[in-house]
Structure 1
Amino acid sequence: MNIHPAPRRPTFAIFDTHPVMRMGLAILLRKNFEEAEIVESNNIRDYDQNAGRPEPDLVIYVLHADFEEEGYPSISEIRQKYSGSRVIVYGPEMQPEVIIDYFKKGVNGYLSKYADISEMLICIRSVMGGKRYLGAEHMAFIFEYLIASHTPQRRGDLLTRRQKEVADYLVQGMSTSSIAEKTGLRLSTISTFKAAIFAKLGIDNVLALKEILGLNEN
């Protein structure tokens, strides 16, 4: 008779330098995620002291300031050490660019310490389900930030350096043969550049090209 080993319980690691708060968070998780093993640690080294401990399925990275404290593992270090782990940042209210940077570094969820228990549980379940999580309030906050800081790309910036050079000659009224002579390129090459410029900018004549480049100069 074959006896199959029981499936491994998921491991949730709490990284927090404040033991009382860490203990409270651990109690909450044990109550709501009975199937998981909850491990409390100060940092990566503390967690790894147990040689048989697996890579955590979830790291809850607790911050007590809007920056990573000296001596405390950074998100980059956690990502490098536990590449397969999901990571939730649980910390103070942060500037939108800081939250965005955390997600760029590989964080799967961000939760403010002002969030209620139900939102924390939703966040953990969403992240463990393979999704990213950011609360609706912070989503709106970041959306407003992105709108305010967005600078539309100028259409002329879509051109490569060589395409821009050819476009400048075209708006000066030069013919394709004159541009070929000026640049030392084949006439067919200049014609190809011209077609590519028009296609990239969605135009079909030099007058429209002149208007686009003229707007870019303002």
Structure 2
Amino acid sequence: MNVLLVDDHAVVRMGLTMLLNSHDDLEVVGEASEGNEGIQKALELNPDVIVMDLSMPHGKDGLSATSELKKLLPEVTILILTMHDDEEYLFRGIQAGASGCILKSAPHHELVTAIRSVAAGDAYLHPSATKRLMEEYMGTIQKGGVDTYSLLSDREKEVLALIAKGFSNKEIAEQLIISVKTVENHKGHVMEKLQMKKRPELVAYALKKGLLGYGI
């Protein structure tokens, strides 16, 4: 798997390069120090996975670069690498189109696992983020009773999965070949049936149901 590293610290990039290149199935094919350079390198190198830092003060930040890359290269896989153990950064990264998020403080083997997971088409969230998502889920969904997922139509389930993966209403409409208004209607029905009010709640629910390809 070819990997592109986007991080403003040269020492971090050097360490990650040595780590990843020590594995037979991984190779760092390029580096960038900020988002704009990362976009340019991605267009040139077409990597399998981009490991993207969020905080890069001397250029385009990681969230903006991720969002732009998903428009230019929809098939690209992006793993957010951040020092911020904050759910706001997690949700914003997912909404921007990232396939996963991992902390810079994570053990080396976890980073390797995360890269392999997102490259295989799965989502990856660091354990503390998963715990918070599940806590929010458990606080939202009533215990017992009818399985609320069974209340959703097939199209509503499709819309739910795409929302949780970070796609905008317009992007969902294009994928499902329906109008944006119809997407909004489906989203409203999903939130009503699941008794939810916020997108993070939908992400937590989708994680529990395995709709992101990452089981809990």
TM-score (ref. length: structure 1): 0.55
Of 44, 60, 70, the match for 1:79: 70
Measured in 1, the distance between the counterparts of 2:136 and 2:106 equals 21
- Is the counterpart of residue 31 in structure 1 residue 7 in structure 2? no
Please tell me the residue identity of whatever aligns with 1:106: G
> 1:131 deviation in Å?
0.2
Measured in 2, the distance between the counterparts of 1:110 and 1:52 equals 22
Identity %: 24
Please tell me the residue identity of whatever aligns with 1:88: L
Of 92, 101, 108, the match for 2:92: 101
Aligned-pair Cα RMSD in Å: 3.1
Structure 1 or 2: more helix by fraction: 2
The aligned runs of 1:19-98 (5 Å cut-off) are 19-34=10-25, 36-47=27-38, 53-64=44-55, 69=57, 71-73=59-61, 74=64, 75-98=66-89
Please tell me the residue identity of whatever aligns with 2:59: G
Of 101, 104, 118, the match for 2:109: 118
TM-score (ref. length: structure 2): 0.55
Structure 2 gaps of 5+ residues are 143-192, 194-216
Measured in 2, the distance between the counterparts of 1:61 and 1:110 equals 9
- Tell me the number of residue pairs that the alignment of Structure 1 and Structure 2 aligns: 141
1:14 is aligned to 5
Structure 1 gaps of 5+ residues are 1-9, 153-200, 202-218
1:128 is aligned to 119
Identify the range of structure 1 (15-24 vs 88-97) with the bigger mean alpha-carbon deviation.
Answer: 88-97
Aligned residues of 2:29 and 2:45 also touching (Cα < 8 A): no
Aligned residues of 2:5 and 2:52 also touching (Cα < 8 A): yes
* 1:138/1:72 CA distance change after superposition, 3 Å: same
Of 126, 137, 147, the match for 2:128: 137
Q: Which has the higher contact order (CA 8 A, sep 6+)?
A: 2
